[in-house]
């Protein structure tokens, strides 16, 4: 696959301890890059950034990002792919370009909640050198538009949790949105390229890794700025059904304890799942219902979709 590689002036002479790996598709990570670069002086060359456009095919965006990369004080590389590789393969490719002893996977639609975000990660690697650490994410800076209300409710209840809660099931609360991985750990366990489409490749990776390495949870969150509408979330659940089935096949004992799996198995016995899917999807999209009721309907929709896959 052809790839265009563009480095800024700071890249060649850098000897980073941490590589921030940022994949994106049809997004513009300019705001995130600007916020990270504000820490450049304090970091003293300890951090580099590797961006990868996973097949957007937007020449104007590429040109703008090259200019942005050139203006950064942090060492930075932009990799532009001509064809989409997908979430698992793309992140595996990013690690090949990273030169640090540890990687920080950071989604392009994240926004650090504290001004010393990267400095906190560097301090953690220096003090504890963890195999894997997840910093958490929040909705503190996320848009408050009514069209994103259901997503806010879902994320706030099940994902935006403090480290003390996430640590109770360390492998479950691992997402590539804000994830530190030591280089030798990722060499031993890469993302499974058998996953395609949306979802579950990071959770499955954590299930494998947690058998061999400690997964640490800390409170160094970033806000998930890219909230979705109900229709966008429903489409992602549709796309993720096959990936969920793959996780179930690979890790049946772990997944058996997940509420999403229990709900899917319960709904699998119902004879009218297609009717239920339609009903719950319409209810989730109805602005007449309370937001909590719509969020519950969307969870039921996801369970009904997954029921066909398990």
DSSP state at residue 16: -
Segment 109-151, tens digit of pLDDT: 999 999 999 999 999 999 999 999 999 999 999 988 999 999 9
pLDDT category of residue 85 using cuts at 50, 70 and 90 = confident
Indicate the domain borders of the chain: 3-227, 234-307
Answer whether residue 84 shows pLDDT above 80: no
Answer whether residue 1 shows pLDDT above 70: no
Q: Give φ, ψ of 87 to 5 degrees.
A: -65, -45
Could you tell me the fold of the domain covering 3-227? Answer: Spore Coat Polysaccharide Biosynthesis Protein SpsA; Chain A (3.90.550)
* DSSP assignment of 52-115: EEES---HHHHHHHHHHHHH-SS-EEEEEESS---HHHHHHHHHHH--SSEEEEE-TTEEESST
Would the pTM of this model clear 0.75, i.e. be above it?
Answer: yes
Segment 149-196, tens digit of pLDDT: 999 999 988 889 999 999 998 988 999 899 999 999 999 999 988 887
pLDDT category of residue 39 using cuts at 50, 70 and 90 = very high
pLDDT category of residue 87 using cuts at 50, 70 and 90 = confident
Burial (CB < 10 A; 0-12, 13-18, 19+), residue 164, is: exposed
Give strand ranges (E) for the chain: 3-7, 18-24, 47-54, 76-81, 102-106, 110-112, 132-134, 137-138, 178-182, 215-217, 222-224
Query: Following CA atoms 63, 65, 68, 73 in sequence, which dihedral angle do they give, to the nearest 10 degrees?
Result: -130
Do strands 102-106 and 110-112 pair parallel, antiparallel, or not at all (unpaired)?
Answer: unpaired
Q: Which residues contact 182 (CB under 8 A, 6 or more apart)?
A: 101, 102, 103, 129, 130, 131, 132
Answer whether residue 297 shows pLDDT above 90: yes
């Amino acid at each position: 696959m052809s790839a265009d590689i563009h480095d800024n002036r700071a890249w060649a002479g850098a000897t980073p301890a941490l590589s921030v790996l940022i994949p994106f598709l049809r997004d513009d990570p300019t705001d995130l890059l600007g916020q990270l670069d504000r820490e450049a002086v304090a970091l003293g060359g300890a951090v580099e950034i590797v961006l990868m456009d996973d097949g957007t095919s937007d020449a104007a965006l590429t040109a703008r990002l090259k200019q942005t990369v050139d203006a950064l004080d942090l060492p930075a590389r932009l990799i532009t792919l001509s064809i989409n590789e997908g979430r698992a393969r793309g992140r595996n490719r990013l690690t090949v370009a990273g030169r640090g002893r540890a990687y920080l996977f950071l989604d392009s639609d994240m926004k650090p909640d504290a001004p010393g975000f990267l400095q906190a990660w560097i301090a953690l690697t220096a003090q504890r050198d963890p195999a894997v650490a997840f910093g958490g994410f929040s909705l503190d800076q996320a848009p408050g538009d009514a069209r994103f209300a259901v997503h806010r409710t879902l994320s706030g209840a099940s994902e935006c949790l403090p480290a003390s809660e996430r640590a109770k099931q360390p492998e479950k609360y691992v997402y590539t949105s804000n994830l530190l991985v030591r280089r030798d750990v990722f060499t031993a366990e890469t993302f499974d390229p058998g996953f395609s489409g949306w979802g579950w490749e990071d959770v499955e990776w954590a299930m494998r890794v947690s058998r061999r390495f400690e997964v640490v949870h800390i409170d160094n969150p970033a806000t998930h700025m890219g909230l979705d509408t109900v229709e966008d979330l429903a489409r992602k659940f549709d796309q993720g059904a096959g990936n969920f089935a793959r996780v179930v096949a690979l890790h049946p004992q772990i997944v058996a304890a997940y509420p999403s799996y229990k709900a899917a198995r319960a709904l699998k016995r119902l004879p009218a799942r297609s009717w239920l899917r339609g009903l719950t999807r319409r209810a989730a999209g109805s602005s007449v219902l309370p937001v909590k009721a719509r969020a519950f309907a969307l969870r039921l929709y996801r369970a009904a979709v997954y029921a066909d896959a398990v």
